[in-house]
Amino acid sequence: MVATDRLPEISLDHSPGVPVGSALGVALTLVIAVTAANLFHQGYWQRLWSARDTSALQRGAFFGGIITIAVVAVVGSLGIAAAMSGTELGNPPIPFFALLADAPAWLTLPALVLALTLVASSVDTLQNALASLAVTEKKGMSLTSARWLTVLLMIPVVLVALQGISVLRLFLIADLLCATAVIPVLMGLWKRMSTLAAIGGGLAGLFGAIVPGWFSGGSLAAGLHAASFPGAIPTLAPFLGALVCSTLVSVLLVMVARRR
């Protein structure tokens, strides 16, 4: 007997413009970017310090990690489904919304509510963390003043959002800024680390982020452009440059201060 049922062929006509060979680099870039950004996320630190004890913190981290893996696996499968269907994914690719283009109209409203809920759940955590951080770091500041300060900080955020810039590109730029300082900040746990070394390392990280594009493009403007991730495509070089330069300069300044 000859089997007539076959697996559907995957159409690559509408696949994202990222070469297959660079998939590992993109994955590593996203790991570095997300880790660096989350280490600066005050919402996570609030949850950390509000844990009842170490055991509760460990259980929360374990179950939270398992749930996160499951959700990411489900959402990631939508990209595979969209690619197999031959749907135009867009640039940058948005497979979930690309699939909704051919879905029934009644699914649009639930998807919109879901998207707004996801954004709101992240933004309110960040806003509460900013207000809490302002009260903690600024002596004499009331909670009401901190909340109003947070509202004022949201004004430029809204203005940037109205420009219609790719969200992925904005995230990558913010993650890169975090990557320029994450190593010097963590080195603050080292008793020999100094304020000068941390600041110098952070500045070196900013320089290191534009060095790869500077060398490949031949100008400072080209380095800045490459570090802004044109096309919203994650590239590894700016992140590696930021991490390497910030680490080397921080350690060097610590060693120089130690000799003195």
Q: Are residues 147 and 228 in the same domain?
A: no
Q: Return the pLDDT at 91.
A: 67
Q: Are residues 195 and 234 in the same domain?
A: yes
Q: In the chain, where does DSSP find H-type helix? A: 23-39, 42-50, 54-85, 95-100, 108-137, 143-161, 167-186, 195-217, 220-227, 236-259
Q: Are residues 173 and 205 in the same domain?
A: yes
Residue 40's closest CA among 242, 196, 183, 143?
183
Q: Are residues 126 and 137 in the same domain?
A: yes
Q: Are residues 127 and 191 in the same domain?
A: no
Q: Return the pLDDT at 202.
A: 93
Q: What is the pTM (predicted TM-score) of this model?
A: 0.73
Does a structural domain hold residue 9?
Answer: no
Does a structural domain hold residue 30?
Answer: no
Does a structural domain hold residue 146?
Answer: yes
Q: Are residues 194 and 241 in the same domain?
A: yes
Q: Are residues 228 and 150 in the same domain?
A: no
Q: Are residues 160 and 178 in the same domain?
A: no
Does a structural domain hold residue 93?
Answer: yes
Digit-by-digit pLDDT tens for the chain (260 residues) are 444 444 445 444 444 444 544 678 788 888 888 889 888 887 778 778 888 888 998 998 899 889 988 988 888 887 787 777 777 776 666 777 777 777 777 777 887 888 788 777 778 788 888 888 888 888 888 888 999 999 998 899 889 888 878 888 888 998 999 999 999 999 988 888 888 999 999 999 999 999 999 998 888 988 999 898 887 788 889 999 999 999 999 999 999 887 77
* Residue numbers of the domain that contains 153: 114-164
Q: Are residues 134 and 191 in the same domain?
A: no
Biggest CA pair distance of the chain: 84
Distance CA 203, CA 181 (A): 8
Q: Return the pLDDT at 1.
A: 43
Q: Length of the chain, please?
A: 260
Does a structural domain hold residue 16?
Answer: no
The total number of structural domains in the chain stands at 3
Does a structural domain hold residue 14?
Answer: no
Q: Are residues 62 and 99 in the same domain?
A: yes
Q: Are residues 243 and 174 in the same domain?
A: yes
Does a structural domain hold residue 73?
Answer: yes
Distance CA 126, CA 230 (A): 26
Does a structural domain hold residue 197?
Answer: yes
Distance CA 56, CA 54 (A): 5
For CA atoms 21, 27, 32, 34, give the dihedral sign. Answer: positive
